[in-house]
Amino acid sequence: TLKSARQEDSDFAAQVDGLILKRGPELPEFGATIRYLWRARSVTGQMIALDGGQHLAWQTPDVTGIIE
């Protein structure tokens, strides 16, 4: 989970605190994931979420009160 350009720091901190892992990905993780997918020739049709677990308990901003 990366901070939106329109998001206040306090709102982003609250969003990260609500994640299962309590942290989002660091930029090098994106590169490592792309390298893995590039090299793993047998991987097909996968959804890989680099979001600290956010997709496991997805809630829309109207439910969470987080301003984006």
Tally of CB atoms within 10 A around 25: 16
For the chain, domain boundaries: 9-61
Q: What is the pLDDT of residue 67?
A: 64
Decide if 25 contacts 1 (C-beta within 8 A). yes
Residue 1 has pLDDT above 70, yes or no: no
Query: pLDDT of 18-64, one tens digit each?
Result: 888 888 888 899 999 999 999 999 988 888 888 888 788 776 667 66
Q: What is the pLDDT of residue 16?
A: 86
Q: What is the pLDDT of residue 66?
A: 64
Decide if 23 contacts 3 (C-beta within 8 A). no
